[in-house]
Chain A
Amino acid sequence: MAGNRKFGDRIRSLREAKKKEDPAFSLRKFAQAVGISPTFLSKVEKGEFAPPAPERIKKMAELLGVDADELLALANKMDPDLSDIIKDQPKAMADFLRTARDTGLTVEDLRAITEKMRRQND
């Protein structure tokens, strides 16, 4: 199983920073809270095993207090929510995403559009 060193290093450094203050971030307790075995977590952190499933990564992000999308991106995984969103509107949503990509929108453009849509929705 190919590992992911960047993801492992990130999880390990976040967890090690937290564990100094809170024993809930020990290897075993954190693994238990995420729903994986300590051996598996240990090997993921060392970059020997591939990151766990997206749901577990989201749980890690929640416990470590970081953005789930950042960890999912490091793990080269997609939030299952996103595939559900596309499945709900397979044609329109796929068209929307492809158009956004093909029109060459920058990250700033995407953020501005997202913010505008959010405001309209409020």
Chain B
Amino acid sequence: MIDVKFIPETHIERAAIELMAAYGQKYGDVAGPPIPAEEILECHLELSLGFDDLAKRFGEPGILGATWIEDKNVLIDQSLDPAENPRIEGRYRFTVAHEVGHWVLHRHQLVAARSAPLLNKTPEPSIICRATAKKRPIESQADRFAGYLLMPEEMVRRHWTDTNGSQSPYVAQDEIAQLAAQLNLAKDDQPTVGVSKRMAGAFHVSGQAMQIRLINLGLILTKKPPPSLFA
């Protein structure tokens, strides 16, 4: 497994914005959510997308996706097929965008790191992506790219204003505490608040992914801000 180079956050975000712009130039601007993640992967980047039972293929559970850089081929685990399981749409799209992230950010490093395949042997994927809590840097970079691609800041802020009337943040501390008590969640588990779920529906992402994005953009505050000195 390769040690990926550090990539500044702004570079990851810019790569996602530039990819969207290039897609827009060819196929028409994406005016609003949802972002066409599959079309970006399949039509613009000209990668093949397919589904397979990846646990069976690789002999281990919990694999969400795999990419073969040289073959321009991406396989997603069939448990994420949104036609079979519409409730998993957000996780499916995030996985597609994550594999796009590997292609955009890491393909040159992955190709360089690969040793020549043995003759007559089906080549191993360049990268296998697992559903694990603790992620290696290469995986967390692809996750962050997916977040930027599926939830661009400008589009999220515009949608927030359309929904809430202003750019003012929502202090979610009480709702989080109330939901955590209702759902009997562990101390570190954060429930998804209503506004995250509603925005997630528009962007076809999971409520959890949207909530992380809204917190990072400062639109959801998980703690009440201290009183302003100038109030």
Instruction: Tell yes or no: B140 within 8 A of A by CB.
Output: no
> Interface stretch among B38-46, B153-161, B172-180, B198-206?
B38-46
**Contact between A19 and B43, CB atoms less than 8 A apart:** yes
**Contact between B84 and A37, CB atoms less than 8 A apart:** yes
**Contact between A39 and B84, CB atoms less than 8 A apart:** yes
Instruction: Tell yes or no: A42 within 8 A of B by CB.
Output: yes
Tell me which residues across on chain B come within 8 A of A37, comparing CB atoms: 81, 83-84
**Contact between A26 and B39, CB atoms less than 8 A apart:** yes
Contact with A along B127-144 (1 / 0, CB 8 A): 000000000000000000
Number of interface residues of A (CB under 8 A): 20
Contact with B along A31-43 (1 / 0, CB 8 A): 1100001110011
Distance to closest chain B CB from A25 (angstroms): 8
Tell me which residues across on chain A come within 8 A of B43, comparing CB atoms: 19-23, 25-26
Tell me which residues across on chain B come within 8 A of A21, comparing CB atoms: 43
Q: How far is the CA of A42 from the CA of B36 in the complex (A)?
A: 19
> Interface stretch among B49-57, B118-126, B182-190, B208-216?
B49-57
Distance to closest chain A CB from B213 (angstroms): 24
Instruction: Tell yes or no: B218 within 8 A of A by CB.
Output: no
Contact with A along B17-56 (1 / 0, CB 8 A): 0000000000100000000101100110010111110000
Q: How far is the CA of A20 from the CA of B83 in the complex (A)?
A: 23
Instruction: Tell yes or no: B78 within 8 A of A by CB.
Output: yes
**Contact between A27 and B81, CB atoms less than 8 A apart:** no
Known: A23-B27, A45-B50. A28 touches B82 (CB 8 A): yes
Instruction: Tell yes or no: A95 within 8 A of B by CB.
Output: no
Known: A39-B51, A42-B51, A46-B50. A31 touches B39 (CB 8 A): no
**Contact between B83 and A27, CB atoms less than 8 A apart:** no
Q: How far is the CA of A16 from the CA of B49 in the complex (A)?
A: 10
**Contact between A23 and B39, CB atoms less than 8 A apart:** yes
**Contact between B83 and A32, CB atoms less than 8 A apart:** yes
Q: How far is the CA of A26 from the CA of B38 in the complex (A)?
A: 7
Known: A20-B46, A38-B81. A43 touches B51 (CB 8 A): yes
Residues of A within 8 A of B (CB): 12, 16, 19-23, 25-28, 31-32, 37-39, 42-43, 45-46
